[in-house]
Amino acid sequence: MTRQEKKFSGSALEGKHHINLTVNGQLYELAIGTGAGKVNPSDTLSFTLRETLGLTGTKVSCDSGACGGCTVIMDGRAVLSCMLLSIECDEKEITTIEGLKNPKTGELDPLQQSFIDHTAFQCGFCTPGMIMSSKALLNDNPSPTEEEVKEALSGNFCRCISHYQIVRAVMAVSGKGK
């Protein structure tokens, strides 16, 4: 990690030259700057994931923190990728919807399969965010109650009214281990 030091007569703040992001187990070293493949200081994490790394599974809907569509897991917690600056995600570990399947067999995570089995979506735009919020909950608490599932999903909105199926899909894997 290289840091450029800026001196303002007595005050020292540091600007970054590049960041290391681990996404779904893969390390990306990205230069800070403008131009293809680089991270601009004002790039959001959702922009970097989708436009720079090509991981378009993460969806951006409101782009203002109000819908949960862009949820990813960062260092174990569900966060909104549209409300984070990539430049501040240096050394972070991020899991997106693309990272849930078994990397060797390609088999879906039981939670993903449960969404399919319960038809827990219509248009599907909220689904990656719903799954990532649920996954963060299940990692923390493998046997959540229905109340806990609703609480964990309270920042995720579905325009198609699939909430009931979504809660059922998550409850179906609650207590089932990994």
Ligand X SMILES: Cc1cc2nc3c(=O)[nH]c(=O)nc-3n(C[C@H](O)[C@H](O)[C@H](O)COP(=O)(O)OP(=O)(O)OC[C@H]3O[C@@H](n4cnc5c(N)ncnc54)[C@H](O)[C@@H]3O)c2cc1C
Minimum distance from CB of 65 to ligand X (Å)?
3
**Number of residues engaging ligand FES in binding (CB under 6 A):** 22
Residues 42-101 that bind other proteins (CB under 8 A): 42, 44, 63-66, 68, 71, 77-80, 82-85, 87-88
Residues 107-146 that bind other proteins (CB under 8 A): 133
Q: Are 178 and 160 in contact (CB under 8 A)?
A: no
Residues 114-143, mask of contacts with ligand FES (x by CB under 6 A): -------xxxxxx-----------------
68 binds ligand FES (CB under 6 A): yes
Q: Are 96 and 132 in contact (CB under 8 A)?
A: yes
By CB under 6 A, name the one of 33, 37, 65, 175 that touches ligand X.
65
77 binds ligand X (CB under 6 A): no
Number of H helices, E strands in the chain: 5, 7
Minimum distance from CB of 163 to ligand FES (Å)?
8
Beta-carbon contacts of 151 under 8 Å, excluding residues fewer than 6 positions away, are none
Which residues, listed in sequence order, are joined to residue 29 by a DSSP beta bridge? 20
Beta-carbon contacts of 143 under 8 Å, excluding residues fewer than 6 positions away, are 174, 175
